[in-house]
Amino acid sequence: MDSNNTAHLTMAKAFFGTNHPLFNMFNISVGAVSDGHAEMTMPFSEQLSDRKGSLHRGALVTLLDTTCGLSIFSSLRSLEPIATIDLRVDFLRRIPSAVGLKAIVDCIGRTDTVAFITGRAVAEDSGELLATVTGSFAIGTMGPSFDSNEARGE
């Protein structure tokens, strides 16, 4: 891993780790970050499960959306503000009971103002494909840069 990827991983783990209340509550963790690529995991949690004992699909969408953002940040080489324009998640099969999830997302292209992603969610234990994701995200929106003191809560 080169120093740029190491810097991305360090920054991502700080922002997307325990410093962020939602990601902390969902126990989302960063697995890998490189130029335009991100992987994140979410372990099984009864608090986030549906009536059948599987992680709720809404939790999976949150994991995918978050991983999409991280893949875009890594392609931009900065944490400038972004916003989801369109996110499509296709569920290919039911999420297995009591199983954690892994999201793998690539930023496949971008203009000055829009980034495009594609990715997938798999069962963490078996690697079974559960869902696919595609989407577009606005770059340079009105919010604070994610590497600013304001975004870090300082």
The domain ranges of the chain are 1-137
Beta pairing, strands 129-139 & 82-91: antiparallel
Instruction: Note the pLDDT of residue 147.
Output: 58
Instruction: Note the pLDDT of residue 8.
Output: 57
Distance, CA of 35 to CA of 57 (rounded, Å): 28
Instruction: Note the pLDDT of residue 21.
Output: 74
**Residue the block writes with tokens 């954690």:** 100
One CATH from 3.40.720.10, 3.40.50.360, 3.10.129.10, 1.10.10.10 for 1-137: 3.10.129.10
pLDDT digits (tens, 9 = 90+) for 70-79: 999 889 877 7
- What's the whole-number mean pLDDT along residues 73-90? 89
Distances 57 to 27, 50, 51, 113 between C-alpha atoms, Å? 16, 8, 12, 29
Most confident of 17-26, 73-82, 106-115: 106-115
Beta pairing, strands 114-123 & 101-110: antiparallel
| pTM, full prediction | 0.84
- Determine the Cα angle at 32 with ends 97 and 123, to 5°: 15
- What's the whole-number mean pLDDT along residues 52-78? 90
Question: With contact defined as beta carbons under 8 Å apart, do 63 and 40 qualify?
Answer: yes
